Amino acid sequence: MNPVSRVLVVSDDAAWQADVLAELAAVAGKMANPFGLCFEGVGRSSDALARAGSDGEVQIVLVDKGLKEKGTTQPAVQLANQINRLRPELSLYILLQDDDEKVVMEELASHAIDGYFYRDERDFNGWFRILAAEMGEKAATPFYDKLKQYVRMAKDSWHTPGHAGGDSLKGSPWVGDFYDFVGEEMLRADLSVSVPMLDSLLHPTGVIAEAQTLAAKAFGAKKTYFATNGTSTSNKVIFQTLLAPGDKLLLDRNCHKSVHHGVILSGAQPVYLDSSVNRQYGIFGPVPKQVIFDAIAANPDARVLILTSCTYDGLRYDLKPIIEAAHAAGIKVIVDEAWYGHARFHHAFRPTALESGADYVTQSTHKILSAFSQASMIHVNDPTFDEHLFRENFNMHTSTSPQYNLIASLDVARKQAVTEGFRLLDRALKLAQELRQKINSTGAFRVLELDDLLPESVRGDGVQLDPTKLTVDISQSGYSTDELQRALFERFNIQIEKSTFNTITLLLTVGTTRSKMSRLFDALLRLAKEQRAPRALGKMPEIPGFSRLACLPRDAFYEAGERLPLLDDDGLPNTALTGRVCCDQIVPYPPGIPVLVPGQVIEANIVAYMARLLKTQKSIEMHGLAEEGGEFCVRVLRDDELASLPSRAWFN
């Protein structure tokens, strides 16, 4: 299948435009045209914006600087800026009459413009070559191309990995099936740092550096780094770059556990901000905006603020005013965009965290876009970025034997995002809307809208919903979430993303197809026709608010401590834990919010909460509890350990 790259020529000079289109079409017919360049004309800015906002095959726009529109000054300038805001991945060229016009464009819209042509030069062969080269740069995958080239060179392997391009597996009576399952090309491409032409992730100067530069341009960053151990490692790298032991940071308690691990590794002093909670559905939302503003004002010595946007359920902050307030206080802002790496490539999802002013953004490129699992990116726009320090921390966490197929997948995912991301995301949005309507028509299942999902405390905060994340209320179906997941999996071959006690979450991505949607709707419709009587679904107990820290999380974590049982001999919450200081991060999953972090003082309601979860929510995992002799234990500081730690006056 050959690609199509549509070029819009925007001009109200109909005769000139017709001549240009005819000449460019003639050139396209006789010259090499691997990207399928084709040319169409529109006469007004509104038509150009409409096409750019609806046609995913538009790749380049040529705007006549002489464009005139009634009641509009500098319409070419305005159109250039509007197109850039709508679809920043599009290439934009201005058609000039003279150099004076170029000066105006450079002053008013230089950030949006990729190049210029002079209307009267009529060098259409030259124009075509430049536009083809523009598409070639956009479609380049420097690392992936070099990886393919190396594999095709068929070099004998006298280096790691030990399977030697799959030769240890091929033909084996025991494991030959793995060779067949994974495929020869994937195994031949599993190489190591012993191949200099493939560059080094730890010190990139060649094709990896080129791929990262292209990614930075695509995502709107000054610098972009590829990570092969997910956003979990990416968050830790940034923490260790920005925070020294004892530095204060503000963080959403609902952050991913890697953020809390980063607190331990950096030795920072955290100020935890409780998330908003929708108790009807067991969904945790953003931290209320006023809580964040109050925390910024109350902690003038804070160095970092980290937030998650969007959340697992698709709720995203109105980031711009929050970031502006943080920057006014001298606070760097990190945004975990693990679930929102696609947002740059469709206006329905924007603005992104980078566009809202964030200094650092981490993204799981594998979650919605086409990268392999574990493949992530770190984007940097910090004006005081210390690249040497960052690189030292990056290398501390990055394997010296990174998986090169992961790097290639990041290169390819970026290419797809800038060339057809808009079209694929537009399809996902339309399928999401259609699927909403179909699910609601079953009568037994209902897709929750933003108003249903928003906790009361953030209703005035400008929170938005990513419509590709569908949270489905199942409470009228007669099924429990465990039963429903089992039925979908075993009877209909469908695996969902996650669940709460009365909802399931469906994730639409660039890989969602109409056929998949049809099969899902058919499954839910069949289950709805069973007409089971609705039944009460046990609610998850309310997570206790944060108590207080007695010491730095790192200090508590690295002490030996002692282990006390969660339940006493009568099976009741163990009162001996009350007042003790926890050494570990204890996380009920789902929802994945720490109920205790290292250094936190344990209160009676926290012990009761954990005990009730273990008794009533059998499907929940309790990460961080030790298990001894068949019972769960909490690791806590001994009294002598607590007394020996540095002064704790600052936590009181």
Mean pLDDT, all residues of the chain: 93
Task: Write the pLDDT tens digit of every residue in 507-523.
Answer: 999 999 999 999 999 99
- ∠ CA 579-582-585, nearest 5°, is 145
Q: Residue ranges of the alpha helices (H) in 61-141?
A: 75-86, 99-109, 124-138
The fraction of the chain above a pLDDT of 70, given in percent, is 98
Question: What is the spatial distance between Cα 393 and Cα 11, in angstroms, rounded to a whole number?
Answer: 51
Residue predicted with more confidence, 292 or 620: 292
CA–CA dist 428, 433 (Å, integer): 9
| pLDDT attached to residue 279 | 85
Predicted pLDDT at 38: 97
Kindly report the CA angle at 215 between 209 and 217, in degrees rounded to 5? 110
Q: Is the pLDDT of residue 341 over 80?
A: yes
In degrees and rounded to multiples of 5, residue 523 shows phi and psi of -65, -45
**Under 8 Å between Cβ of 620 and 613:** yes
Q: What is the mean pLDDT of residues 527-544?
A: 84
Q: Which two tokens stand for residue 150?
A: 């190396």
Mean pLDDT of 446-457: 95
What string of DSSP letters covers 526-579? HHHTT-PPP---PPPPPPPPP--BSS-HHHHHTS--EEEESB-TTSSB-GGGTT
Evaluate if residue 122 carries a pLDDT over 80: yes
- For 445-509, where are the alpha helices, taking DSSP H only? 450-453, 481-492
Neighbours of 378 (CB within 10 A): 25
For the chain, the first-to-last Cα distance in angstroms comes to 66
Question: 404-440 vs 124-138: helix axis angle to the nearest 10?
Answer: 90
Strand-pair category, 360-363 with 223-227: unpaired
Q: What is the pLDDT of residue 652?
A: 47
Output the pLDDT for position 619.
67
Least confident of 27-41, 583-597, 599-613: 583-597
Q: Which of 319, 182, 200, 302 is nearest to 251 (CA)?
A: 302
| Cβ contact 313:506 at 8 Å | no
Mean pLDDT for the stretch of residues 168-185: 95
Mean pLDDT of 205-219: 97
Average pLDDT of the residues in 165-189 = 94
Asked if pLDDT for residue 437 goes beyond 70, the answer is yes
Q: How confident is the model at residue 591 (pLDDT cuts 50, 70, 90)?
A: low
| Residues 498, 505 contacting (CB under 8 angstroms) | yes
Give the whole-number percent of the chain exceeding pLDDT 90: 83
CA dihedral 357, 358, 362, 366 (to 10 degrees): -20
Summarize the confidence of residues 518-545 as an average pLDDT. Answer: 88
pLDDT at 232 over 70: yes
Judge residue 363's burial from the number of C-beta atoms within 10 Å of its C-beta, 0-12 exposed, 13-18 middle, 19 or more buried: buried
Say how far apart CA 82 and CA 21 lie, in whole Å: 23
Q: Per mean pLDDT, which range of 236-240, 251-255, 374-378 is the poorest?
A: 251-255
In this structure, the chain runs to a length of 652
User: pLDDT tens-digit profile of 27-80?
Assistant: 999 999 999 999 999 999 999 999 999 999 999 999 999 999 888 889 999 999
Q: With bands split at pLDDT 50, 70 and 90, how would you rate the model's confidence at 446?
A: very high
* Poorest-pLDDT segment among 46-60, 293-307, 413-427, 601-615: 601-615
At residue 651, the pLDDT reads 56
In the 8-state DSSP scheme, what is residue 129?
Answer: H
Ranges of H-type helices in 267-403: 289-298, 319-328, 387-397
Cβ contact 92:52 at 8 Å: no
Among all chains, which residue has been given the structure tokens 């200099």?
A: 196
Give the ranges where 441-537 is alpha helix by DSSP (H). Answer: 450-453, 481-492, 514-528
- For range 361-383, the mean pLDDT: 96
**What does the pLDDT read at residue 501?**
84
Q: CA-CA distance, 409 to 221, in Å (whole number)?
A: 19
Tell me, what DSSP letter sits at residue 651?
Answer: G
The answer to whether the peptide bond before residue 310 is cis (omega within 30 degrees of 0) is: yes
**With bands split at pLDDT 50, 70 and 90, how would you rate the model's confidence at 538?**
low
